[in-house]
Structure 1
Amino acid sequence: MTKKLFRYLAVAILGISASLVLNQQTNTVEAKSIIKTVMHDAQACDLYGDKVKGKYAAYTQVKVDDDPISFRFKPFAPGYKISGKNKYIKASNIDGVKRKVKHNSFVYATSSRRADSRLLKKGKTITTYGNSFKFKNGLRYYRIGGPKKQYVKAANLGKIIGSNTEETTVTVKTKGADITDYAYIDSDDEDIVKRVKKGTKFKVDYAQYSSMDIDDPDGYEYHIKGTDFWIWHRDVKADKKIPIHDYKFEHFTYIMFYKDTDVYNADGTKQDHHGQKIIKQGGFIKVNKLLYIWIKSKNKAELFYHLAGHQFYATDLPDGSSGSDVINVGQGYVKKKDVKFIDGLKLSPSNTPEEARQAAKQDTNKKAE
């Protein structure tokens, strides 16, 4: 496989910061539009799953980009972008998901009337669309088809076992293509499991960015279904596009310092670096926690990010002299309002303002003992 480079480069050459620059290249190829049928009433949302204006009724058609995406919230399920608009629909409302039948099941049109004479036998894999419906009898059902009403009791079906949006067939187009045993790599070392012949076909069910390749800035690999193995996308031709997941952005959160920023301790007191602050800087700064900290001087709780890094480039001293190039913040925190969320996993607070107040009160009592 062609030698690869790191997808991300550290801002600090000294290795002193968790500040990262995402070396992404803009895809200049315009997405093509395709027509999809909405199989379950769908609410439009943004990339992070928050509702936006727009609802799409079941069995209506909608124009979407043909390049599905993965949402930036757990479980990072796939979705489609509405063509020409900054809004999305969950793919489960369009393509559906796969489930196993746990108990022999009939197909219903209503809670009291069957849609037809079919019996879905235990062990069969079927496609369901969207969330379940609660019928008049108090039981929940999943839609399995249409446009006529077809539902199966939710209790008779298992958990999601696959996504129709994320599965496709790939055909090897490169002579002696490599199969490796993992997708996300941070070095040039790879464990090659075997090489396969041109024309070999594989079912794949997941795609994930690995590292950046010199010849291919959008380097990603396909997961071969039912195995622990992966194959690089440049070596194959896929029957259809599937969403490409990004490990870094599905596991970490990134902010930027849009202004010179003060750093705080876990007790809400401002750190003293002789007047120096973290300097305004672009790039991607990794944080790993969002929480409320009680500010005793203000008698209120505020939201803070916990910095994953410990050393950052610094402003000059108040008198204008350069001082130290960097400051060591240790277990440092920055106010959420002082920084800007850039990308990655959108964090939720790990505590409440009241919990922060009680923690501060307990800490004060301990110090007084």
Structure 2
Amino acid sequence: MKLTKKIELAMTALILVTTPFLTNFSQTQIVAAAKSSKVAAKGKITLIYDAHLYNKYGHKIKNKNKYLPYADDDVNGYKYIPEFNADVMQYYGTKIINGQKFYNIGSDCYISMADIKEVNGKNSKKGKLVLNQKSAVYTKAGNKSSYTLPKRAIVKYQGAVKEAKSKPKYYYSKYYKSDDNEHYFYLPLTKIKGKNYYAIGQNRYIKANNVTSLDGYPLIYNGVTTATVLETTATQTIKNQKTKRILKKGQKIKVDLAVKPWAEDFEGYIFRLHDYPNEYIYENYISLRNYLPTSDYLAQVCSFVKSKTSTNVKLYGVTGNPIGVSFNTAELSAFNVDGLFYIWNKAENKAELYYHLLSRSFNRKDLNNNDGTQLSSPTDDEKTNENSLSTTEKIISVNSFVKASDVNFYDGIKLSPLNTPLEAEQKQKIATDNDKAQLQKAFDSEQQNITGSSRHAGLTLGYDYALVNAAVVLRSTKATLAQVDEALWLLETTKTQIKTLYFEDFS
């Protein structure tokens, strides 16, 4: 969920409780609602984040019988406008309600100034912070002053926002069209008694953890925050499967990441439980204290490496020898890996570190021959019948490696070596039938092939090829202990991947 000097002590504080629920609605519906107003529009506004709607008395609107086509209901039935679709809305005037400024957007609905970024194209929050809760004002010595700012207060800050190369503790981000990359911005913090503060005036500071937006962008907290459960519900896995853990309404939980899950029709994020990192809760069931960094499904279940240079990256077999094929880095500079091994190279008399490529993680167009020429085009039979591939081609498809020295870790889960250089050397002995017993048992039990749905066809095929690889190792009189261990690992890994991974473009 991605959601990024001097204090005027006599300022008017603005208060509004928001919860970051993300759902779709139609921009045209907003326009239609605006046209229905009898009052001429005064201008346009944009939102910082999701904004609840209020009536003329300053109360959140909760009226299911009232038709509001441009708003959605949160888990408690209150009307709100999802920020990410509300790029521009018309307003018809402003109103001070209980000392707070609100914008009238028609149909007797109002939005708090605290939730608005731009008014008529001008950033109304430039140089300002918005608070997510009531906040005491502290001195440099860490003592509370006599001032307390209310929830959703808008405060001028001191200092200048700077750009960072990586995600700081507190930051906001935005993309530039020129490079299509995410850029991180932060306001320098002041450390007082071990806690982080923002300066808002001479000898005046507020806790950074109490800030919800900076310069009109949601302020992201790169850490662990608390959330309140809004409705009793079970947690879920990253693949949208319910667990046995039940979270009760009103319960406080710790969450540390917003993840875009795998489901094709899913809108919004699920949040990872800090104490149970394999469990998540859907955003509609929680109210967050702070916004968190966002990630996608693949970064949570996969590992990615990237070529160090533009030179094609050679692929190797389980013995550490080149297989005559290279990644075409012009087509695919970053690719999936699922294991990290030391492989003993007899010719060089040393162990080197290799990444195992995720089975079926690349297409023919991504590969070249080692001499730089393109691979031959697949025959019509190969396009329609995977069984037309030779045993060698199937094993290359499922059991190829790249040298760790040729790539850098890029994204996702960082892998640790599954063996040591010494173990790689010691396991060069020829395996006996007794050494192959565990692999043989696994191979025999796996003959009842796993049936995958169409969206997992590529993963299921990788599992089938792992069986082919295991059969070749079992029959070989020259297979080493290392090859037996790796064949068993591959069989178990590809089986697990069918249950735990999802790739929309696999076929």
Query: TM-score scaled to structure 2, two decimals?
Result: 0.32
Q: Which has the larger radius of gyration?
A: 2
RCO higher in 1 or 2 (8 Å CA, sep ≥ 6)?
1
Query: TM-score scaled to structure 1, two decimals?
Result: 0.42
**Which of the pair is proportionally richer in strand?**
1
